[in-house]
A = this chain, B = another copy of it.
Amino acid sequence: MLQAQGRAVHQCDSGWVPVFVDQEQSISLMSVGFLLERPDEAVVWRGPKKTLIKQFVSDVAWGELDYLVVDTPPGTSDEHMAAVEALRPYRPLGALVVTTPQAVSVGDVRRELTFCRKTGLQVMGVVENMSGFACPHCAECTNIFSRGGGEELARLAGVPFLGSVPLDPELSRSLEEGRDFIQEFPKSPAFPALASIAREVLNATPALLC
């Protein structure tokens, strides 16, 4: 999505140098993908994965960061636990929990909310993804994956609901082609939802904005 495939991670005195994805070096990335020899190599790490996750926090020369975003797959596994533990000394702002509108997905996410509570990770809020689709031909909206699950979940868990992101072919296209969504697709259906969620996250971190 960030057109960083095939880029390499280098060593410097203070650790691994992350990969910069833009000219201004405003976004730096670290991924196990950069450590593999070939992009279709399966990551069949057995055992020291926990160590690797820790190293991604402590051994990368991140420099000064405004935000560190850890994108995890759904679940409540050893790896999630390792990420929470590695970040604990830095007092993370919390988890942004993403669900689709269906009951099945909401069930998974309920377990994630329990995981957050158990591990002492604050929940910044719930985002509902794949939330309805407005046909580009006739403009009629279809709730392909049911509706309202995210909002209901946030209500039940007593955490903020941050918004619903609709299914959007322009967002998919932007990610497929590694294009700048903010610059190039400001009129796409997902744009206002994503902008509003971003504002909510910024509002949750006033100290950083001073």
A residues with a Cβ closer than 8 A to B are 1, 39-44, 46, 49, 73-79, 81, 102-104, 107, 110-115, 118-119, 133, 135-138, 140, 142-146, 167-169, 172-173, 175-176
Max chain B Cβ within 10 angstroms of own Cβ: one of A41, A49, A74: A41
- The docked-state distance in angstroms from the alpha carbon of A176 to that of B1 is 31
Residues of chain B contacted by A113 (CB below 8 angstroms): 40
Copies of this protein chain in the complex:
2
Residues of chain B contacted by A107 (CB below 8 angstroms): 39-40
Q: Are B114 and A76 in contact (CB under 8 A)?
A: no
Max chain B Cβ within 10 angstroms of own Cβ: one of A1, A102, A172: A172
Q: Are B42 and A115 in contact (CB under 8 A)?
A: yes
- The docked-state distance in angstroms from the alpha carbon of A40 to that of B78 is 18
Given A42-B118, A133-B167: 10 more A-B contacts, CB < 8 Å: A1-B104, A40-B107, A44-B118, A73-B73, A73-B74, A102-B175, A135-B135, A137-B142, A144-B168, A145-B172
Residues of chain B contacted by A169 (CB below 8 angstroms): 142-145
Q: Are A133 and B140 in contact (CB under 8 A)?
A: no
Contact of A44 among B74, B76, B102 (CB under 8 A): B76
Q: Are B146 and A136 in contact (CB under 8 A)?
A: no
Residues of chain B contacted by A142 (CB below 8 angstroms): 133, 135-137, 169
Q: Which 8 pairs across A and B sit closest by C-beta, in order of nearness?
A: A42-B115, A138-B138, A137-B140, A40-B110, A135-B135, A42-B76, A42-B114, A42-B111
